Amino acid sequence: MNGQNNKDWLFAARAGLIMTLRGMGMRDTSTLAAIEKTPREAFIPSALHQHAYDNVSLPISHGQTISQPFIVALMTASLELTGRERVLEIGTGSGYQASVLSHLCRRVYTIERIRPLLVEAERRFKMLKLMNITSRLGDGQFGWPEAAPFDRVIVTCGASEIPLHLLAQIKDDGIMIVPVDSPGGHQKLKKVTWNEDRSAPVVKDMIDVRFVPLLSDVVEDKD
């Protein structure tokens, strides 16, 4: 495929994905615009480029995945971003979700526990000239306390229970989107906020999902 044909294919494939997301009920135009301007092919292995705009999750390195575009869109829209927010992301992975968020908020803080993934994600942020993403290697279960409080938190790996350490780092009117284990080996995507006096979380169940688990070990190797 020559350069022009490849550009034409990418344009058509991106447009097709946006039509698919609309057909699945995604109506948030800001989220759709951010997904449309984020080149998903830049975040996956070259051997999978022909599937870049399929509405499926895809494998990346170190046993991780890049999420299904509909799930990315749903989680992003559920954050109710206005452009002024500081967002904490747990699980940088390929960097795709952080890149989408970067078009919709003031600053993204993203934590990854696997150094080679983080290095590649940072390379992509630089290549795409995304200047409002701050990233670091670490155990995401404890969040980023020195940068807290955040307006929003998004967790892109499955937690065994609602992570209260992270919930404590959002503002009174903040929102956390997180997949949480459910009975029977399933996960439920949840939208979590505080009640009026921050004495208890308010939890809204969304849809069933499947994410890699939220782990605490930091991986330094470059293999």
Cα separation, 167 vs 212, in Å, equals 20
Cα separation, 220 vs 215, in Å, equals 14
Q: Tokens for 205, please give them.
A: 């169940």
- State whether the Cα torsion 145-157-32-11 is positive or negative: positive
Helices within the chain (DSSP H only): 3-23, 29-37, 69-78, 96-102, 115-127, 164-167
**Strands, DSSP E only, in the chain?**
58-59, 65-66, 86-90, 107-112, 133-137, 150-155, 170-182, 186-194, 201-209
Is 99 among the residues known to form the active site?
no
Which of 39, 65, 100 lies closest to 179, judged by CA?
65
Q: Looking at 46, 57, 61, 67, which residue is catalytic?
A: 67
Q: Tokens for 144, please give them.
A: 């980023």
Residues serving a catalytic function are 67
